Amino acid sequence: PFPYWRGIVNPIEIMRGCSSACYFCQVTYSFGLPRYRSVERVVELARISMERGLRDLRFIAPNSLGYGSRDGVKPDPEALYKLLHKLSIVAKASNGRIFFGTFPSEVRPDSVNRESVDILKSFVHNKRVIVGAQSGSNRVLKMLHRGHTVEDVENAIEMLTQSGFSVDIDLIFGFPFESSEDFEETVKFMNRHASHSVRFHLHTFIPLPGTPLSDASPAPLDAKKKAILAKFVGAGKAYGYWIEQERLAMIINELREKRIVYSFLDNLKNLKISYC
């Protein structure tokens, strides 16, 4: 996964693909269903990384708690324990640390249960876990094909914080179908959980090629909504590049309107097939 023979070491990709098929995300549409790098190979790459001076082991996964599971969502405690236990042996031998469940190996809220949290608590060094909620509105979650509810997110927050973890919650704004009521529901969700141990990582929807929402037009937030989110940022309860992402989304939209770049549907219309 990286040219360690040239002295370059990166976070280790432990799984590729995703079964969730969220409509805004490229992972399922680019890589298909989940496949897992074997525990033995992950441990070997960790050992090689440590030998080259790395001390903090980080991992790449669309849902790290789904490692080794049948569907990539419901955790397999045995597989998860085996992976982290063997990694901990390698890390301890080099006075290293394990970062798992944080960037770039965030978790789905419906993968957080008592067993998976206890396993994390036993082996990882990160004190913060990143949970992909994406919205505080069940209507939006359903339209995004997320496969979980706001209540699942709140259960995940409760279990993680009760076990001593701080939690960062990913949220995305600016979906074309996000109503003012949906925005208000998300803000209410944020207010319910804006405690000392919960922060919000804010994003703006960007239409990504190859996804069901690739041709959707982003809906910029008005000044009032931006001011509400800015208060969370000012209070230290939220962070992120959501303003920059909105600018990028609008640039993409403008390029489409000027026919400088083409949407997926436009490309299909322009496609010509030559038969041999």
- 13-to-128, 196, 201, 245 alpha-carbon distances in Å: 20, 31, 23, 26
Domain boundary at 57, 91, 126, which? 126
* Same domain membership, residue 196 and residue 163: yes
Domain count, the chain: 2
Q: What is the pLDDT of residue 257?
A: 86
Where b means 16+ CB within 10 Å and e means fewer, 220-259 reads bbeeebeeebeebeeeebbebebeebbeebbebbeebeee
- Residue 34 near residue 15, CB atoms below 8 Å: yes
The last residue of a domain, from among 68, 91, 126: 126
Same domain, 117 and 142: no
pLDDT at 195: 84
| Domain interval for residue 62 | 1-126
DSSP letter at 107 equals B
DSSP state of 2: -
Residue 130: the pLDDT is 99
Q: Are residues 25 and 83 in the same domain?
A: yes
Residue 144 sits in the same domain as residue 93: no
pLDDT at 5: 86
Whether residue 176 sits in one domain with residue 153? yes
pLDDT value of residue 1: 76
For residue 140, with 0-12 CB atoms within 10 Å meaning exposed, 13-18 middle and 19 or more buried, which class applies?
Answer: buried
> Does residue 82 sit in the same domain as residue 9?
yes
Distance CA 95, CA 195 (A): 33
Report the alpha-carbon distance of residue 49 to residue 96 in Å, rounded.
Answer: 10
196 located within any domain: yes
Lookup: tokens for 10: 């990166």
Quick: pLDDT tens for 59-91: 999 999 999 999 999 999 999 999 999 999 999
One domain, residues 187 and 201: yes
Q: Is residue 273 part of a domain?
A: no
Does residue 72 share a domain with residue 146?
no
Task: Give the residue ranges of the chain where pLDDT is below 50.
Answer: none
- State whether 98 and 3 are in the same domain: yes
pLDDT at 198: 98
Identify the CATH number of the domain in which residue 18 sits: 3.30.750.210
Residue ending a domain, choose from 126, 154, 189: 126
- What is the pLDDT at residue 273? 72
Note whether 131 and 264 are same-domain residues: yes
**What is the number of H-type helices and E-type strands within the chain?**
10, 9
Residues 259 and 135 in one domain: yes
Residue 135 sits in the same domain as residue 258: yes
Q: Would you state the pLDDT for residue 267?
A: 72
Q: Is residue 245 within a helix (H) or strand (E), and if so which, with residue range?
A: helix 242-257
CATH number at residue 164: 3.30.750.200
Contact 251, 207 (CB under 8 A): no
